[in-house]
Chain A
Amino acid sequence: MPMVLLECDKVIPERSKHIYLKVEGEDQRDFLPISNAATIPGTLSERGCAFCGAKLVIGGVLKDTIQMIHGPIGCAYDTWHTKRYPTDNGHFNMKYVWSTDMKESHIVFGGEKRLEKSINEAFDEMPDIKRMFVYTTCPTALIGDDIKAVAKKVMSERPDVDIFCCECPGFAGVSQSKGHHVLNINWINEKVGTVEPEITSEYTMNFIGDFNIQGDTQLLDQYWKRLGIQVVAHFTGNGTYDDLRAMHKAQLNVVNCARSSGYIANELKKQYGIPRLDIDSWGFSYMAEGIRKICSFFGIEERGEKLIAEEYAKWKPQLDWYKERLQGTKMAIWTGGPRLWHWTKSVEDDLGVQVVAMSSKFGHQEDFEKVIARGGAGTYYIDDGNELEFFEIIDLVKPEVIFTGPRVGELVKKLHIPYVNGHGYHNGPYMGFEGFVNLARDMYNAKANPLLKLAATDIRGAKSALKEAAE
C-alpha cells in the first residue's frame, strides 16, 4: 500500500508523504513517512515550538530552579499551568513562571540590562533558590541579546548561584523536538561534571527521559529503591539542578524517552563512557523486560525477578480484569512521538487493545521505524497530523478511544469519542505495573461512560434505549 493522500489533503498533496497505511507483509523498509520536516502553514498542525520543547518539557520540570524566560510576557504565560509534573517539595516548578517582560524599548535598545535586573530580582525575591535556567525566545534571539554574558556576570557577582542558558528560540527547528535537542547538548557541555555526587550504592544509574507526569518518576523510584540501585540523576522528573550536574558519575544511563533525551545519553557515552540502555516504562511486559535488563547489567537478576514476581502478584489480576473488558477495543494515539511506539505494542500485549491510528507531532525517522515495526497492519501512521486529517482518519478507522491532549479531546467529544489525556494522563501515574493498571482503568472508564450513548440518542426519534430497557 503506498502512502495515503486523504481527501482533505488534495490541495496539499505533499501531505501524502507523511501518512502511511500499513498492510500485511509490509515493513518500514517499504514505506516510511517523512518526519521532522517543516510544517505546511495554515494546516492547523498540532505542533508547538522549540522554546516550549526546552522549557515546558525538560527544564521546567526541575523542582529547585527558577525558569527565567527572556522575552515578552506570552512565552512565560503560555508555558505555565499546562503540565502535570508534581514534585516532592510542594510543586515549586508548577507554581511559578518568570519573565523579563520585554517591551518595545528593550527590543529597540537591547534587553541585556533588563535580563540582568530580572535575574537579580528573582534571586532576591526567592532567596532559598540558587539555581536558574535562562531561555531566549524569538525576539530576544532575533535582536541578538547575549544571555550567556549576562549569566556569567551575575554568577561572578553572586558566587552561590548557578545559571544555565538555553538558547533555543521558538522558531528554531520545526517543532518542540529541536528544543529538547538544544537543551540536552548544552547541558552536557556546560554543566555535567561540575558537581560530584555522594555515592550511596554500588549500583548507580541515571534515569533519563521521564518527567514525573502525575508521579511516574516517584513510582518507578520505589522499584529502584527495592533493587538497591541509586539514581544519581533524574533527567528531569522530580529532579534537581545539581543532581543533573553529577550525571557523569553513574554507571549506567537508562533511557525511557529516547526522543526528548536520547541525545544526552549518547553524549554521556561518548564523553564519559557510560553505557546507554533503552527501556519502555509503560506496560507490564515492557516494564518487566526493562527491570530484567537493568538488573542483568548490575548482576542482580534475582532481585529483579523477586520484584517482578511481587508486582505481578499484586497488579496482574487487576490488569486482567480490564483486559477481559477492553479486548478488541480500537484505540488511536495522537501524542508527541515516542508514546506511539511505547504504547502500541504494550496495549496490544497487555490489554488486547488494537491501535488503529497514530499521529506524532515531533517524532523523527527512528520513531517511525520503531512504531511501524511494533504496530499492526491496517493502522495509519501519521506525521504532524492536522485537524481535517483527524476527522477523515476517524471516519476511516472508527476509534473507540483516543489518547491525546485535552484540546483535541474536547474536539472528538463532539463526535462521541472519549479521550484519555495522553500527555498529562487522566488519573496517573501510568508508568510501571501499577501505572499501567491506572491507564487500563482510565481507558475502560472512558469507554464505558454512559453519557456517550445518551449523546448519540435522538430523543425526537424512536424511544430512547434507556427508556425502553426500563419498560
Chain B
Amino acid sequence: MGCEITTRERAGVINPMYDCQPAGAQYAGIGLKDSIPLVHGGQGCSMFVRLLFAQHFKENFDVASTSLHEDSAVFGGHMRIQEGILTLVRRYPNLRIIPVITTCSTEVIGDDVEGNIKYARDQIAKEFPGREVHIYAVHTPSFKSSQVGGYSECVLSTWKDIAKEKAPATGKLNVFPGWVNPGDVVLLKHYLKEFGVQGDIFMDTEDFDSPMLPDKSIHTHGRTTVEDIKASTGALASLSLARYEAASTVDFLKNTHGVPGHQVSAPYGIANTDAMLQKISEITGKPIPDSLVHERGVAIDALQDLAHMFFANKKVAIFGHPDLVIGLAEFCTEVELEPTLLLLGDDNTRYKKDPRLLALKDKTPSEVEVVCNADLWELEKRVKDGSKKYDLILGHSKGRYVAIDANIPMARVGFPTFDRAGLYRHPTMGYRGAMLLGEAIANAMFTHMEYTRDREWLLNTW
C-alpha cells in the first residue's frame, strides 16, 4: 500500500518528542570514561538533562555547567569557560576528557569557545606539566536540529579532537550503534564475542546500569577511553548502525584515516539483524556462528507464537528517534503488525528521502502515514478526533498520557522510558531485542484485554 510523508504544519510544538541539541551532546559525552561534559550555558541546560538521564537510567551522571549568568550574557562568557575547565581539572585529578558543549545562548552571544579552550589548555600545561586533558568544543546551538543531531555532533567532535593520528592496524571492528541503551551495547558485545571478532562499541555505555557494591565504589560512567578512540583509527572497518546518529563519525574515520566505513539498517527486527551479521561476516571473513543462528531461531520461534494470533491487523503508531522508528516499523512488518503512523520529531529534511521509509510501502498491507518534524500532539489529535484508530502505541514515556487517556495499549521503547522499570537493561536491537519487544507488546495487549474485559478469556487456554 502507500506511504504518505508529510510535515507538521503548525509553527509551535505541543509535547515535543526530542530534547534539544545540547541534551544529545551530553548523552554522548557521558559515554566517555574519565569525562565530565561542560555545558556552556544557563544552569538549566545541564541540570534538567542530568535529571532526564537519572529518570531513564535511575543513575546519576556528572555534567558540569559554566553557570552563565546575566553579566556573561551581556559581556560574554569567556572567563566562565576558562574558569569552568580549570575548576574541573583542579578538582578531578583523573579527568581526561572535557567536551565543552555550547547552547543557544552562548551561540547567540558568540563566545569564542575554541580560543578560551586554548587559553585554559595553556594554563593546565603550566599548572599540571605532563597531564593530558582532551578539551574540545562541541557546537550544539539548541535552535538547530535536536538531541539526535546533538548526539551525532558530540561523537564527531570527540573523534576529531582525540583521533587525530592514524594508529597502527588493530584488526578490530568499530561499531557505532548511535543512541542506544546499555542492553543494546551488551548485546552487540555478545555478538562480536560469538563471532570471535575483536571490536569496540562506541559509546560503550554498558555501565550505565551499575551496581551497589559492598565497598561503595561508583562505576556509573561510560567505558569508552581515550585509548579506544585513538586506536579506532587503526581499525579494520567501522560499522554505523544509525544513519542519523553514527554515520558522520564513521565517515570521518573513513575520510581522514582511511578506515572503511559501512552503513547498515539499524538492527531492529530479524531481517535487519541478519543484514548486520552478514555485514560483519563479510568485513571480517568470519562465518556467522551457530550460536547466533540458534538465538535467531529462538526469537523467531517466540514471535511465531504471537504474530498471526495476536498481532495481525493491529494498527501501530510509532514515535521516537528516526533510526529506531524506521527500524521498529520494519520489525512490525515481520510480525504482522501494521505500522500506520510514524512520527519523526525534528526538522532534518533527510528523513523524507530515507530509502527504508520508501521501501516500507511494499512491505505493509496498510497505508503508512509518516509525519516529519512531528510533535506528540500529532498523535494525540489523530487519536482524539477519531480519524485514525490505533491498536498499539510504540514509543517513549513522554507519550504516556496519549495512551493512558485514550486507553490504548502502549509498549515503552526508546528514550526516555522513565515510567517503566529496568527497560534500559534490555536490548531492543538484535534477535533478542526483537523477541523481548514482541513479548512486551504482547503482554501490554494482554494486560489491556484484562483491564478492558476484551476477550480476556482468550488467554485461558493460550
- Are B141 and A104 touching (Cβ within 8 A)? yes
B42–A49 CB distance below 8 A:
yes
Choose the segment among A94-102, A192-200, A258-266, A292-300 that binds chain B (4+ C-beta atoms closer than 8 Å).
A94-102
In the complex, are the beta carbons of A51 and B44 less than 8 A apart?
Answer: yes
In the assembled complex, the CB of B162 is this many whole angstroms from the nearest CB of chain A, namely 20
A38 to B146 alpha-carbon distance, docked (Å):
30
Docked-complex contact B13 and A99, CB < 8 angstroms: yes
B-chain residues with CB within 8 Å of residue A413 when the two chains form the complex: 212
Given contacts A407-B60, A411-B60, contact A139 B108 (CB under 8 A): yes
Q: Are A172 and B13 in contact (CB under 8 A)?
A: no
Q: How extensive is the interface on chain B, given as a class? A: 35 or more
Complex: chain A residue closest to B57, CB-CB: A410
Residues of A near B21 (CB, < 8 A) are: 74
* Given known A-B contacts A47-B43, A455-B214, A387 and B62 have beta carbons under 8 A apart: yes
Contact A103 to B12, CB < 8 A, known contacts A78-B49, A138-B41: no
Are B12's CB and A117's CB within 8 A?
yes
Bound complex: CA of A175 vs CA of B43, how far in Å? Answer: 8
Decide yes or no whether A45 CB sits under 8 A from chain B: yes
CA distance A51 to B50 in the complex (A): 17
A39 near B67 with CB under 8 A, answer yes
Instruction: From A78, A100, A107, A172, name the one whose CB has the most chain B CB atoms within 10 angstroms.
Output: A78
B460 lies within 8 A of chain A by Cβ: no
CA distance A391 to B211 in the complex (A): 18
The complex places the Cα of A118 from the Cα of B91 at a distance, in Å, of 45
Closest 10 CB pairs of A and B: A74-B20, A118-B12, A170-B42, A49-B44, A41-B84, A78-B48, A42-B87, A42-B84, A138-B105, A72-B142
> Which residue, of B11, B15, B52, has the highest number of chain A Cβ atoms within 10 A?
B11
Query: A113-124 interface mask toward B, CB cutoff 8 Å, 1 = contact, 0 = none?
Result: 010011101100
0/1 per residue, B87-105, Cβ < 8 Å to A? 1101100000000000111
Contact (A72, B20) CB under 8 Å given A47-B67, A170-B44: yes
Partner of B51, one of A97, A103, A104, A405: A405
Listed in ascending order, the chain A residues whose CB lies under 8 Å from chain B are 8, 11-12, 38-52, 68, 71-82, 95-104, 106-107, 114, 117-119, 121-122, 125, 137-139, 141-143, 169-175, 387-388, 405-408, 410-411, 413-416, 455-458
Given A81-B418, A411-B60: A388 and B91 interface contact (C-beta under 8 Å): yes
Per-position binary interface string of chain B over residues 29-57, scored 1 when its CB falls under 8 Å from any chain A CB and 0 otherwise: 00000001010011111011111101100
Chain B residue contacts of A95, Cβ below 8 A: 15, 401, 405
Residue numbers in A under 8 Å from B91 (CB-CB): 8, 11-12, 42-43, 388
Alpha-carbon gap, A142 to B142, bound state (A) = 14
> How far is it, in angstroms, between the C-alpha of A121 and the C-alpha of B16 when the chains are bound?
15
Chain B residues contacting A98 (CB-CB under 8 Å) are 12-14
Contacts of B398 in A (CB 8 A): 77, 80-81
What is the bound-complex CA distance between A454 and B416, given in angstroms? Answer: 30
User: Does the CB pair B143–A455 fall under 8 Å?
Assistant: no
CA distance A125 to B381 in the complex (A): 9
Report B-chain residues with C-beta under 8 Å of the C-beta of A169: 42, 73, 105
Q: Which residues of B contact A117 (CB under 8 A)?
A: 10-12
Which residues of the other chain, B, contact A122 by a CB distance below 8 angstroms?
12, 14
**Contacting residues, chain A, for B141 (C-beta < 8 A):** 72, 104
**Chain A-chain B contacts (Cβ-Cβ < 8 Å), number:** 247
**Cα distance, A11 to B293, chains bound together (Å):** 57
Complexed CA–CA distance, A12 and B91 (Å): 9
For A81, the closest partner residue in chain B by CB is B398
Cβ contacts under 8 Å, B409 to chain A? none
Contact indicator B105/A171 (Cβ below 8 Å)? yes
Cβ contact within 8 Å between B47 and A77: no
Pick the contact of A49: B43, B58, B86, B88 (CB < 8 A).
B43
Distance A52 CA – B19 CA, assembled complex (angstroms): 15
Give A117 to B87 CA distance when docked, in angstroms: 44
CA distance A2 to B56 in the complex (A): 41
Does B1 sit at the interface, judged by CB under 8 A? no
Would A45 and B18 be within 8 Å (CB), given that A81-B398, A117-B11, A171-B73 are in contact? no
Contact with A along B375-414 (1 / 0, CB 8 A): 0010001000000000000000110010001000000000
Can you name the residue of chain B whose Cβ is closest to the Cβ of A38?
B69
6 A-B residue pairings within 8 Å (CB atoms):
A72-B20, A82-B55, A139-B105, A170-B68, A411-B60, A455-B213
Max chain A C-beta neighbours (<10 A), residue from B16, B23, B67: B67
Determine the distance from Cα of A118 to Cα of B20 in the docked complex, in whole angstroms.
18
In the assembled complex, the CB of A173 is this many whole angstroms from the nearest CB of chain B, namely: 7
Known: A117-B10, A455-B214. 12 other contacts (CB 8 A): A12-B90, A51-B42, A77-B23, A78-B19, A80-B16, A81-B55, A82-B48, A95-B15, A98-B14, A410-B58, A455-B212, A458-B215
Q: Say whether B48 contacts A40, CB under 8 Å.
A: no
Q: Which of A100, A103, A414 has the most CB of B within 10 A?
A: A414
Do B104 and A49 touch across chains, with their CB atoms under 8 A apart? no
Contact A415 B216 (CB under 8 A): yes
A170 vs B48: C-alpha distance in the bound complex, in angstroms?
12
- Pick the contact of B45: A11, A44, A170, A387 (CB < 8 A): A170
Q: Determine whether B340 belongs to the interface, using a CB cutoff of 8 Å to chain A.
A: no
B187-206 interface bits toward A, Cβ cutoff 8 Å, 1 = contact, 0 = none: 00000000000000000000
